[in-house]
Amino acid sequence: MDQPTSEVVLIRGLVRIPSRVFAVWGSVVFLKGLWDVLGRGEPEANLYAPQPWAFVTKAQWLRYGLFELAYGLSCLALAWLLWRYARFLPESISRPRREPAFDLFR
């Protein structure tokens, strides 16, 4: 079978994939942070403590929830920046196909 002499590489997609990953992860972390700060989120240590908030104080848990909010927002901002950066890249490029240095099945 004749090998093609050129290959197409999708450049914009290589940037949009991590953008989507950061968007999903940032959304999950941000929503978990909202649940911990505004909702009824509490640490798992409360399940095993003799009385609630014995091991982890409410102030410590609020600080952790605020960290989750900041981390989630930073992941969402990075996703947005990557998505915007992808607009400046070409959709795909065509380049000559190179022979691999090592072929496993030859």
Q: Is the pLDDT of residue 88 over 80?
A: yes
Q: Report yes or no on 36 lying in a domain.
A: yes
* Residue 42, domain member (yes or no): yes
Domain membership of residue 17 as a residue range: 8-92
As beta bridge partners, residue 99 has none
Number of H helices, E strands in the chain: 3, 2
2: in domain: no
Q: Is residue 13 domain-resident?
A: yes
| Higher pLDDT, residue 66 or 2 | 66
Is the pLDDT at 2 greater than 60? The verdict is no
99 in a structural domain: no
pLDDT tens for residues 22-73?
999 999 999 999 999 998 889 999 889 899 899 999 999 999 999 999 999 9
Which tens digits make up the pLDDT trace of 9-34? 889 999 999 999 999 999 999 999 99
Q: How many CA atoms lie within 13 A of 100 on its CB side?
A: 6
> Does 106 reside within a domain?
no
104, part of any domain: no
- Model confidence at 3, pLDDT cuts 50, 70, 90, reads low
